[in-house]
Structure formats: C-alpha cells, structure tokens
Amino acid sequence: MKVLDIALKDMLRSFRSGFALVMMFVVPLLITGIIYSAFGGLGGDGGFDLPVTRVQVVNLDQPGPQFSFSLGQMLVGFLQDERLAELLQVTEAADEANARAAVDSQDAGVAVIIPPDFTTAALAPEGRASITLYQDPTLTLGPGIVKGIVSQFVDGFAGTRIASGVVADQLGQRGVAIDASLMQEVAMQYGAWAEALGRSRGEGAHPALDIQPPPSKTEPVSQGAGMMGPIMAGMVIFFAFFTGASTAETIIREDEVGTLARLFTTPTPRAVILGGKFAAGFITLIAQVVVLMLASAVIFRIRWGEPLSVALVALGLVVAAVGFGLFIMSFLKSTRQAGPVMGTVLTLSGMVGGLFTTGIPNLPAAYDTINLLTPHGWVLRGWKLVMAGGGVGDVLLPVLVTLGMGIIFFAVGALVFRRRFA
C-alpha cells in the first residue's frame, strides 16, 4: 500500500510540473509534427507525399542467342514494378537521344540508359557494363531514389554472378556437368533471396536475425505513413527514456531537500520506498506511451499494429526506460550533475540506438547491429516489426531482450542506491 502511496505522490508532483508535462507529451508530438509538416504535411493518407519522379528508360540490351533472358528487360520490369508507382513514373524511350532530350527539356527527371552488351557483359566472368543515369541537375531527391533502386538491382545481380560462380566451381570439382539452364536456375534463386533480403532490411530487420514478419501479414502501407511510424516510434522511445531518468532523478532531488532522509525516519522499509519510486516511473511511462500512441494515431494516422504485440513492445520499453533511468541516476551525486549527464547520455544512447535516423532508408547493415548495443535499439526493432505487421511471435525476441536489459539496469541501479543510502 505504501508503495502506491509513494508512487501516487510522485506522479501527482510530476503531473503538476509544466516542464515535465511538456517534455513527456508535447515535445515528442511537436518534433514529429515538424518533420511531418516539413515533408508535405497533412496529406490525405496521413503521411507526407514524395514527388513522383518521371523516368525515361532506354533498354539497348541485346543478349546473345545463348541467353533466354535479358537483364536489361528485367531492370525495366523492376523499375516499372507497381510497388514503386508512388515514387516513379517510368516510360520507355525509343533511343538514348530521345531520353536525354526529355531530361534536357525537363519532361523527365532522370534517364536510365541500359547499354547494348548489358546481359553479355554481366554474365561473362570478367565482363563489365555500365548503366548511365542522366539527370536533371536541379533535382536531388528523385534522382537519388532512382540511383538507389538501380544500385539495388545491380548489387543484387553482382551477387548473382558471385553465387553462380561459386556453384559452378563446386559442382565442377565434383564432376557435375553444368549447363545454361542450371546457371539460370541458380541466378533466379539467388535473385529471389536477394529481393527478400532487401525487403527485410527496408523494414528494419537485421539480415543476421531471422525475425522479420511473414510477408503475408504485412499490410500495405503508404510511403508517408510508413516513414512517419518509425519517426514517431523513435520520439516515443527517446522521451520515454527521458521520463524514466527524470523519475529516477527524484531520488536525488528528495535526498537534496531532505524528504528522502525524512522518509527513512518513518516506519517504511527502504525497499518499499525504492519500489514506490519504480512504480511511479512505471505508471507514468505507461500513461505517456499510451497518450503518445493514441495522439499520434489520431494526428499523424500512424497504424501502430496488432494490440497485443504493441502492448508487449510498450511493456519492454517501459521496463527498459525505468531501469536505464535508475542505472544512470545511481552514479550521480546531485541534480546539478543530473541535468547535463542525463541529456548527454540519453542523446548519445538514443543516437547509437538509431532513434534519430529512423526516417533514413538504406542505412548500412552494420548500423543495425550497432543499434542493438542499446535497449533503445531493441525497442525500436520491436516497434518496427509491430508496425510492419509482426505478431507476438515476431516481437518476442526484442521484447525479451529489452525486458532483460531493463531488469539488469534496474538491479544494478537499485544496488548502487541501496549502498549509497545504507
């Protein structure tokens, strides 16, 4: 009972603080709102709209008779995929001169010129071929997207060539005859795997961790809403950790003003006092996360995902934030130290955890691994999975890791505080 009394007292004080309320509820929504507005704002689908880039593609590829397919044609098909329709409007040009002229006259933003020997060179052991991108110099975002997509295709094909080479070598060593149809089969299988890998990385899943949701569960989301969700998730996580640390800071604050010592003179065990502080952080954070999720769902039309999975990820976030906050504060002597240290540690750990780069696509895979050094990164991972349609089974690993990290941080923090006030 006293645990709740202490928790309610702390919460009453928190919710009476204008600064705390602003930091808990207003700032996360405000920052997300600024990003939201900066990218075109209050569009009909609730996200922001990237301008569609007009692309002229010239396919000069002429594969030899030994090939039953054309890589150039595959690239054209890749660019014309309906899933890219929100980003690209692709038209096939008759020849290179027409394509370049379209860009010069600003009828197109980018011209993609596929060379005549593309298939032949690409499949030859030492072959080289270059795709030319001719772009409107006044544009940045659209050509960047086209470059990224074409690079993804070319990287995938380079991998195909390496995979085919390895298969050919190994089968050759075992005396197995290799024909063109077998090589095509290997190339197709590798292509399918690479495509799936690219998709999983786009959803924030690390290729070394097979925890991406089944594609069948993935709901199609608009480009805007798909980007706003992780950005808002990053803000929720960052400010939840801020609240966790602020709640733990009340222990130091109460020590300074003498109310903690006074609490120790009452017939209340120290574990109950610390438990009350933990409960205050826990309940406050639940309120904060729920309010931010509901508000962002209404304002930015973010679809957070399946409720039970969302609840599990939120639970992991709350426990990790309370534990991490107590851990940091247990090493600080005064509230004068707490301000700058809290700001620095939370910002750095948030950066390492990837909270501020959620809207940036195609980050290196190594960055995904670095994110997982922090509880922030694991919470973000869980949230991305939930927003991509993941169920309980999919988020179980990140949730368990965040819970574990939170409990360990809490135990260490509680131990340090216990020794300090012994």
Partner 1 sequence: MHKNFGDVYAVQGVNFDVQAGEIFSLLGPNGAGKSTIISMLACLLEPTQGDALVMGHSILRDPMAVKAAIGVIPQDIALYEDLSARENLNFWGKMYGLRGAALRQRVDEVLGVIGLAERQKGRVGKFSGGMKRRLNVGIALLHKPHVIIMDEPTVGIDPQSRRNILDNVKELNQQGMTVLYTTHYMEEAQELSDNIAIMDQGKIIAHGTHDELVKIVGELDRIDLTINAEAGRVLERWQATEGVHQVSAENGQLTLLVDDSNVVLPRLFESASRGGVRITSVEIQEPNLEAVFLHLTGRALRD
CB of 16 to partner 1, least distance (A): 5
List Cα–Cα distances, 226 to 26, 187, 222, 372, in angstroms.
22, 31, 6, 22
Closer residue to partner 1, CB minimum distance, 17 or 337: 17
**Candidates 5-13, 33-41, 98-106, 376-384; binding stretch for partner 1 (CB under 8 A):** 5-13
Helix and strand numbers (H, E) in the chain are: 16, 4
CA distance 138 to 219: 35
Contact mark string toward partner 1, 240..259, x via CB under 8 A: -----------------xxx
List Cα–Cα distances, 318 to 188, 243, 283, 376, 382, in angstroms.
45, 10, 9, 11, 13
**Candidates 133-141, 149-157, 160-168, 267-275; binding stretch for partner 1 (CB under 8 A):** 267-275
Residue 235: how many other CB atoms lie within 10 Å: 24
Greatest Cα pair distance, the chain, in angstroms, is 92
CB of 416 to partner 1, least distance (A): 19
CB of 26 to partner 1, least distance (A): 19
- H helices present in 105-179, as ranges: 118-123, 141-173
List Cα–Cα distances, 282 to 144, 249, 259, 287, 355, in angstroms.
44, 14, 21, 9, 21
Tell me: does residue 9 bind partner 1 (CB under 8 A): yes
Tell me: does residue 264 bind partner 1 (CB under 8 A): yes
CB of 266 to partner 1, least distance (A): 4
Closer residue to partner 1, CB minimum distance, 174 or 419: 419
**Candidates 13-21, 95-103, 183-191, 224-232; binding stretch for partner 1 (CB under 8 A):** 13-21
Q: How many chain residues touch partner 1 (CB under 8 A)?
A: 20
Tell me: does residue 420 bind partner 1 (CB under 8 A): no
Tell me: does residue 18 bind partner 1 (CB under 8 A): no
Of the candidate residues 40, 214, 215, 269, the single one contacting partner 1 (CB under 8 A) = 269
Tell me: does residue 261 bind partner 1 (CB under 8 A): yes
CA distance 214 to 339: 44
Tell me: does residue 16 bind partner 1 (CB under 8 A): yes
CB of 1 to partner 1, least distance (A): 8
CB of 336 to partner 1, least distance (A): 18
- DSSP per-residue codes, 237-289: HHHHHHHHHHHHHHHHHHHHHTHHHHHHTSS--HHHHHHHHHHHHHHHHHHHH
N residues, the chain: 422
Which residues are at the interface with partner 1 (CB under 8 A)? 1-2, 5, 9, 12-13, 16-17, 257-259, 261-269
